[in-house]
Amino acid sequence: MDLEIPELNQKEKKCFEKVEMIIRGGFGSSFVSPLDGQLEKLKVDECKVYLRKYGLRLIGNKDVLIARIREHLEVMDGGGEKRYPISSFVFDCKGDACTGDVVMFEQNVYDMYSIASRSATGPPCGTRTVVGRIVKESYGAEKQQHTFTIEVLWSKGKKPLPPMHPLLIKGRNLYRIKTMRQKWDDEVERKKTLQEKHSRGFVARCSREKRIETRGSEPARSNRFKRPHTKQNSEPNRSYQTQQSCSSVPPVPNNNSPTQANRPFWSGKPSTKQYK
């Protein structure tokens, strides 16, 4: 699927030109010689305009945004492959990656992409090598599927991804291919990060199982208060309808019964009968 980067409007284009002038003042015309203090002159809105220009992530405070811009400038024009060489990826993830890992993998590239299923279709047209840093991993709210967000540091092959492009990939797909990683400066800290990820995964799986059990018991609970429609249950309704229809018919007057006019009038005098 081709990358679609939104175009800047006129106001944002002018702002980007200003940002470019500031960056050139610190990085030179080729953006490869960092000079401390130049990026700190940028405002938050100006940082976001630069990141939006290249389709990069906009999340974070000013320090995070400036660090992202600095790294983007460093990995441009082949700098990423020099900074993260293939020889530095010495550990096999073995189906277990976490936030902070710098990983390398090879994935198939497809010409066709299905928006409905959000997956590639048809035979692959080639492969590409991707090196990136895992900046986020989460479990979906509905199916608890593990998803990684990887910031691309460099990529080559068929349809290479631009530097610092955010790439979403399912955990099962990342583990299915042979994914290598760099060594952490502190591997003990990585173990703590893995334990925290595993605990969140356990909670996510438990919540999903409870939700499935609740959905399975809802029909039985609702049907428990419904009486089955049988012939016996329909008889009282039929008799009630018959009585209701009969009561709606006005009574036929009886000629032999006294009417209100010739009915004897009660005098209202008390009875003289004595009770002992």
- pLDDT at position 230, please? 54
Residue 92 CA to residue 88 CA, distance in Å, equals 12
Q: Tell me the DSSP string of 149-199.
A: EEEEEEEEESSPPPTT-EEEEEHHHHHHS--EEEPPS-HHHHHHHHHHHHH
Domains annotated for the chain, with CATH where assigned, are 10-81 (no CATH), 85-189 (2.30.30)
| 263 or 113: which leads in pLDDT | 113
pTM of the model: 0.66
pLDDT, position 1: 47
User: Which H or E run contains 148?
Assistant: strand 146-157
* pLDDT band at 260; cut points 50, 70, 90: very low
Question: What element of type H or E holds 89?
Answer: strand 89-92
Q: Which tokens sit at 91?
A: 């550990």
Q: What is the DSSP letter of 41?
A: G
- The mean pLDDT of 197-212, rounded to a whole number, is 75
pLDDT of residue 253: 52
pLDDT, the chain, mean: 77
Q: Tens digit of pLDDT for each residue in 34-53? A: 445 688 889 999 999 999 99
pLDDT at 27: 52
Q: What is the pLDDT of residues 105-147, one digit of tens each?
A: 999 998 876 656 666 777 889 999 999 999 998 876 666 578 8
pLDDT at 133: 96
Give the model confidence (pLDDT) of 217-255 as tens digits: 665 555 555 555 555 554 555 544 544 544 454 555 555
Q: Does residue 204 or residue 194 have the better pLDDT?
A: 194
